[in-house]
Structure formats: structure tokens, C-alpha cells
Amino acid sequence: MDARLNLFDSPVAAKVLKHLIAANKAIAESSLPVATQELVKLRASQINGCGFCTDMHAKDAVHAGEEWTRLNLVAAWREATVFTEAERAALELAEQGTRIADAAGGVSDEAWAEAARHYDEEQLAALVSIIALINAFNRGNVIIRQPAGDYQPGMFG
């Protein structure tokens, strides 16, 4: 299976990717824990059906020291006992932020308050940004049908 479009070969898409990757770097350098960043990216990617990003973020998380047990339970995080309260709040915010069209009210005040209870303003800004950014990456990859399975940690820089 080949992607419909090679984003790196398109001058327009390559410019956009450059900025998205730069935004991702700013988030990575924030004080939001790396484990939380990867869990959020993985969950949004699962919801959006983005195989490429699901593969990438599971592998990146393992490369960063995350346990497979936790990664295997991300899709069922509500029933899992392996996530902290802060991670659960981030996962709830990620789900609601990813499923905006499914709920007339968007992200609930309760989900926001719970996230704000666990994260400071910088971390909340990083969390909101990472949810928006991973959704952008997911949508692009789903639209072009980017194949999944071959990603290796660090292959993009």
C-alpha cells in the first residue's frame, strides 16, 4: 500500500510539515511529562483511526521507556488501573478535544477543571496544543492513507 501523496515531495505540504514539526518541538520542550504527551498522541490517533500515528507514538513511547502494558490499555484507559489521575485527566481532555463534533458543547467544564487540577498553565497550554497538533497530523495521514507499521523511532530527526 502506498500513500496517495508524498507530503515531503510537495512544496506546499513540506512547508506546512516544517511548521507542524516546529510546533511539536515546542511542546516536547515544555514541562508536560513525556509519558503524558505520548499517551495523548496515541489515544487521539486511535480515535481518529490513524494507523501511522498509532504505530509511531506507541514505538516512540516504548523508546522513551514506557511500558507496553500501559500502551496496550490506552484504548480502555477508563477501566485500567495503570494510569495516574493526572494522566486520566489528560486522556479525557484528549478524547473530548478529539471528538469535538460528537458533542454539542465541545470540551466539558468538568474535563477542563480536572485537567487544570493536575497541570499548571504551561502544561495546560502544551496539552491543548498537543491535542490540536496530533489531530492535524492524524487527519493528514488518514486523508492520504499513509501506511503504518514501518516507523522506527527517530527516523524523522
pLDDT of the residue at 154: 82
Domain 33-144, CATH class in plain words: mainly alpha
pLDDT of the residue at 35: 95
Q: Would you kindly state where each structural domain of the chain is located, as residue ranges?
A: 33-144
pLDDT of the residue at 157: 65
Model pTM?
Answer: 0.94
pLDDT tens digits for range 107-155? 999 999 999 999 999 999 999 999 999 999 999 999 999 999 999 998 8
Write b or e for each residue in 10-32: b if 16 or more Cβ atoms lie within 10 A of its Cβ, otherwise e.
eeeeeeebeeeeeebeebeebeb
pLDDT of the residue at 132: 97
Q: d(Cα 72, Cα 150) in Å, to the nearest integer?
A: 19
Other residues' Cβ atoms within 10 Å of the Cβ of residue 3: 13
Q: Is the dihedral of CA 15, 122, 82, 85 positive or negative?
A: negative
